[in-house]
């Protein structure tokens, strides 16, 4: 008789149910990635039990599963805060601002680096957070400000070192076709999203090595998934992701752990304001050659604002999954190398990495309706013939 109907099979299923329920209850409040992996492990264990042919092999599989679960969960234990100091760049608004408040509430000593030390975001942090939080003037593209911030942090932490650096500062620009994006926008994205993060990392690594702490880079799903209209932004985030992956290997000998956060669509202030969109749009039009402007048409460029509006309205309003994953990267005994908070983010990253190019491009085109309006030369018959 098959295992499913045998006493051993029912025993394995019972143990699986009890084990899975116990683990899920215990880690109900854990970070999203942890919960998802628990479900996967429990599912694998259940499948293994069903496939086992005897009580002996069922016992072996059960013992192995218990060992793996014990090893896994021992690494997910969160370390005590214990006056640990964290530096966060880009804390004026969005994820950086919310993270500064969140870690302050948890008891961390927070250094909130802001682009504008006199701005509303900086003033709100000073007003609402504890005395453990310090606001630092920190433009990640300004070497002198990085040096000054390093001196202040070093003086504060002294021999403790800096426990974690969260490279969060980033800019988006106006999403449009890569041919239309001015070189100034490409350079701006690289300067802030990549070179700024690298320079800040290099400056603070001695303090991280002293504490054997954490380096956390806030990248983007766009850093691993090709997304139309995002050539400048995604390229800079892809560079940051690869830099972090290399640093993860190089810093392991120092005891420093490196994680990359690749969030999906969340509502933050990175899309900017209408006034900013006006300036970006004007910058694009000013840099177009007559031939390119004729082929694309100004109406096509004006319609690109619809994508920015989509970013501001369609993303997830609740950014707590991002904050929880960053907390896990900072505090877990064995943090993950990659976190992908957000709906379908991890699946999209896997799909982009594993699927054939033709299939990915087809699915992406079907999913992204915002890219369906056509340039003037392709939508006007006479101009289309001239272009062909």
Last residue of a domain, one of 75, 94, 124: 75
User: What are 1's strand-pairing partners?
Assistant: none
Does some domain include residue 295?
A: no
- Give the pLDDT band (50/70/90) at residue 147: very high
Q: Respond yes or no: is residue 233 known to be catalytic.
A: yes
pLDDT: which is higher, 3 or 161: 161
Residues 78, 83, 88, 94, Cα dihedral to 10°: 70
Out of 70, 102, 186, 233, the active site residue is 233
pLDDT of residue 383: 55
Element of type H or E holding 137: strand 134-137
Domain check: are 192 and 324 in the same one? yes
Q: Please state, rounded to an integer, the average pLDDT across all residues of the chain.
A: 83
pLDDT of residue 29: 46
- Arithmetic mean of pLDDT, 91-116: 96
Domain check: are 331 and 203 in the same one? yes
pLDDT: which is higher, 329 or 72: 329
CA-CA distance, 349 to 226, in Å (whole number)? 10
User: What are 338's strand-pairing partners?
Assistant: 260
pLDDT of residue 148: 97
List the single range of 162-166, 273-277, 329-333, 374-378 with lowest mean pLDDT: 273-277
| Nearest to 260, CA basis, from 199, 202, 219, 222 | 219
Does some domain include residue 175?
A: yes
pLDDT of residue 52: 55
pLDDT of residue 54: 56
CA-CA distance, 25 to 22, in Å (whole number)? 5
- Arithmetic mean of pLDDT, 358-368: 85
pLDDT: which is higher, 366 or 146: 146
Q: Say whether pLDDT at 1 is over 50.
A: no
pLDDT: which is higher, 44 or 300: 300
Last residue of a domain, one of 17, 46, 75: 75
CA-CA distance, 121 to 100, in Å (whole number)? 11
pLDDT: which is higher, 353 or 64: 353
pLDDT: which is higher, 85 or 3: 85
Percent of the chain predicted with pLDDT > 90: 51
- Give the pLDDT band (50/70/90) at residue 31: very low
Does some domain include residue 311?
A: no
Domain check: are 18 and 144 in the same one? no
Domain check: are 58 and 36 in the same one? yes
- Arithmetic mean of pLDDT, 247-271: 90
> Is residue 126 a contact partner of residue 111, using CB atoms and an 8 Å limit?
no
Does some domain include residue 298?
A: no
Domain check: are 43 and 117 in the same one? no
Does some domain include residue 25?
A: yes
Domain check: are 196 and 62 in the same one? no
- Arithmetic mean of pLDDT, 119-139: 96
| Nearest to 157, CA basis, from 90, 103, 207 | 207
Beta strand spans in 237-351 (E) = 257-261, 338-339
Domain check: are 156 and 119 in the same one? yes
Helices and strands (H, E) in the chain, number of each type:
18, 7
Domain check: are 101 and 245 in the same one? yes
Domain check: are 116 and 163 in the same one? yes
The domain that holds 142 is classified in CATH as 3.40.50.720
pLDDT tens digits, one per residue of 15-27: 656 665 665 555 5
Domain check: are 26 and 95 in the same one? no
> Is residue 266 a contact partner of residue 342, using CB atoms and an 8 Å limit?
yes
Structure tokens at 104: 């302050």
List the single range of 105-109, 179-183, 266-270, 363-367 with lowest mean pLDDT: 266-270
| Greatest distance between any 2 Cα atoms in the chain | 79
Q: Say whether pLDDT at 353 is over 60.
A: yes
Range of the domain at 60: 3-75
Does some domain include residue 307?
A: no
Domain check: are 68 and 100 in the same one? no
pLDDT tens digits, one per residue of 132-145: 999 999 999 999 99
> Is residue 234 a contact partner of residue 186, using CB atoms and an 8 Å limit?
no
139 Cβ neighbours under 8 A, 6+ residues apart:
115, 145
- Arithmetic mean of pLDDT, 148-152: 97
Domain check: are 101 and 125 in the same one? yes
Structure tokens at 103: 């870690």
- Arithmetic mean of pLDDT, 299-310: 74
pLDDT of residue 301: 79
Tally the domains of the chain. 2
Does some domain include residue 341?
A: yes
Q: Say whether pLDDT at 338 is over 50.
A: yes
Does some domain include residue 241?
A: yes
pLDDT: which is higher, 75 or 266: 266
Last residue of a domain, one of 40, 75, 110: 75
List the single range of 31-40, 55-64, 82-91, 306-315 with lowest mean pLDDT: 31-40
DSSP-assigned letters across all residues of 150-175: HHHHHHHHGGG---EEEE--------
- Arithmetic mean of pLDDT, 86-94: 95
């Amino acid at each position: 008789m098959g295992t499913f109907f045998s006493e051993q099979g029912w025993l394995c299923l019972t143990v699986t149910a009890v084990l899975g329920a116990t683990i899920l209850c215990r880690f109900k409040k854990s970070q999203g990635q942890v919960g998802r992996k628990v479900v996967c492990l429990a599912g694998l264990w259940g499948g293994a039990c069903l496939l086992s042919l005897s009580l002996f092999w069922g016992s072996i599989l059960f013992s192995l599963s218990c060992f793996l679960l014990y090893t896994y969960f021992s690494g997910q234990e969160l370390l005590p805060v214990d006056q640990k100091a964290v530096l966060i760049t880009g804390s004026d608004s969005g994820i950086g601002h919310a993270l500064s408040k969140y870690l302050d509430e948890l008891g961390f000593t927070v250094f909130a680096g802001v682009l504008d030390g006199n701005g509303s975001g900086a003033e709100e942090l000073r007003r609402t957070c504890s005395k453990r939080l310090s606001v630092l003037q920190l433009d990640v593209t300004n070497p002198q400000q990085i040096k000054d911030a390093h001196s202040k942090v070093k003086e504060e932490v002294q021999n403790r070192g800096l426990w974690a650096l969260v490279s969060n500062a980033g800019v988006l620009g106006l999403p449009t076709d890569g041919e239309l994006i001015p070189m100034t926008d490409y350079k701006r994205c690289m300067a802030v999203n990549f070179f700024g993060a690298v320079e800040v990392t290099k400056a603070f690594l001695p303090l991280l090595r002293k504490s054997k702490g954490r380096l956390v880079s806030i990248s983007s799903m766009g850093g691993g998934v090709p997304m139309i209209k995002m050539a400048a932004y995604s390229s800079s985030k892809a560079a940051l992701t690869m830099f972090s992956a290399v640093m993860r290997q190089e810093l392991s000998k120092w005891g420093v752990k490196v994680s990359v956060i690749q969030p999906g669509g969340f509502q933050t202030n990175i899309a900017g304001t209408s006034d900013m969109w006006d300036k970006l749009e004007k910058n694009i039009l000013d840099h177009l050659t007559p031939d390119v402007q004729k082929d694309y048409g100004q109406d096509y460029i004006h319609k690109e604002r619809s994508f920015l509006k989509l970013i501001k309205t369609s993303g997830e309003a609740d950014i707590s999954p991002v904050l929880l994953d960053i907390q896990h990267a900072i505090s877990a005994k064995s943090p993950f190398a990659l976190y992908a908070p957000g709906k379908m983010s991890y699946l999209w990253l896997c799909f982009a990495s594993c699927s054939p190019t033709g299939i990915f491009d087809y699915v992406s085109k079907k999913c992204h309706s915002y890219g369906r309006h056509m340039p003037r030369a392709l939508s006007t018959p006479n101009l289309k013939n001239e272009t062909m």
